């Protein structure tokens, strides 16, 4: 854990920040919330994945409530996005990119922290995916959207790729900053390629998959 501490913390805080920006921008665009609602949704989006992860691996109270920097980064990210919302909104792509970045970062921290707590590799991978998609799923439920993870095939898959790379690197004693960045980067790249080419995975045999776009924006460019 000695070497893992600072790496986990920096990845976690980065994921918290980008998800907080994403949550705040979603709040401004999709739900037209006021400043308290924007900061609240930013904090839930930024902190949700890590809180779910820590509760599930038995690390309560979650890191969020032990280290003040989590709350500061999430709240600060929400305030920044609130103030800059007009400027940021010119880049419709930004929300999607921040979400993809947070997805990869949290998939890595979820997997690596689960392994550090003694879970098996398969379970750690699933926990990594849950950590990656958790904050965004809470965000979507609260603003009454169907969560992206359910209807967009190429959302869980990139998180799964990051989680598998992390677990494999850890098992091969190769885990460290380069592997973590590579895993999160692979997730980001696959997610953005999927969004750009509007790729999807197959629907049920004989049925049409639901490729409907969200009316409220926030996904796709």
Residues near its own copies (CB under 8 A) are: 27-28, 31-38, 40-41, 51, 55-58, 60-62, 64-66, 68, 71, 82-83, 85-86, 114, 117, 119-120, 122-123, 126-127, 137, 141-144, 146-147, 149-153, 155-157, 200-210
3 vs 72 by CB, closer to its own copies? 72
Q: Which is nearer to its own copies, 2 or 68 (CB)?
A: 68
Distance CA 8, CA 111 (A): 11
How many whole angstroms separate alpha carbon 114 and alpha carbon 134? Answer: 15
Q: What angle do CA 26, 28, 32 make, to 5 degrees?
A: 115
Q: Which is nearer to its own copies, 60 or 193 (CB)?
A: 60
Alpha helices by DSSP H, the chain: 4-26, 35-56, 63-66, 68-83, 85-89, 92-116, 121-142, 148-151, 153-171, 177-196
Minimum distance from CB of 177 to its own copies (Å)?
Answer: 26
Least Å distance, CB 189 to its own copies, is: 18
For the four alpha carbons of 85, 87, 91 and 97, in that order, the dihedral sign comes to negative
Q: Of 127 and 183, which has the nearer Cβ to its own copies?
A: 127
* Cβ atoms 110, 127 nearer than 8 A: yes
Nearest to its own copies of 10, 200 (CB atom): 200
- Are 25 and 90 spatial neighbours (Cβ–Cβ below 8 Å)? no
**Least Å from the CB of residue 180 to its own copies:** 21
The verdict on whether omega for the bond into residue 61 sits within 30 degrees of 0, i.e. cis, is yes
In the bound complex, what is the minimum distance in angstroms from residue 207's beta carbon to its own copies? 7
What minimum distance in Å lies between the beta carbon of 219 and its own copies? Answer: 14
Nearest distance from C-beta of residue 96 to its own copies, angstroms: 18
> Looking at beta carbons only, is 60 or 174 nearer to its own copies?
60
163, with CB counted inside 10 A (0-12, 13-18, 19+), is buried
**Calpha distance 77→11 (Å, rounded):** 15
194: which 2 tokens?
């999927």
């Amino acid at each position: 854990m000695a070497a893992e501490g600072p790496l986990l913390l920096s990845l976690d805080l980065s994921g918290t920040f980008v998800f907080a920006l994403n949550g705040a921008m979603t709040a401004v665009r999709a739900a037209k919330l006021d400043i308290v609602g924007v900061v609240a949704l930013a904090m839930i989006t930024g902190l949700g994945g890590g809180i779910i992860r820590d509760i599930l691996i038995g690390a309560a109270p979650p890191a969020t409530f032990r280290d003040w920097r989590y709350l500061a980064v999430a709240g600060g990210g929400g305030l920044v996005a609130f103030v800059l919302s007009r400027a940021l909104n010119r880049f419709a792509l930004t929300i999607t990119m921040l979400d993809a970045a947070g997805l990869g970062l949290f998939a890595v921290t979820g997997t690596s922290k689960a392994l550090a707590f003694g879970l098996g590799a398969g379970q750690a991978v699933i926990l990594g995916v849950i950590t990656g998609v958790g904050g965004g799923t809470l965000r979507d439920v609260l603003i009454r959207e169907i969560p992206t993870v359910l209807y967009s095939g190429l959302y869980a898959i990139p998180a799964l790729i990051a989680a598998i790379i992390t677990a494999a690197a850890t098992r091969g004693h190769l885990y460290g900053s380069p592997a973590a960045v590579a895993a999160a980067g692979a997730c980001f790249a696959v997610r953005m390629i999927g969004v750009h080419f509007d790729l999807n995975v197959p629907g049920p045999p004989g049925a049409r998959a639901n490729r409907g776009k969200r009316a409220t924006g926030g996904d796709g460019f």
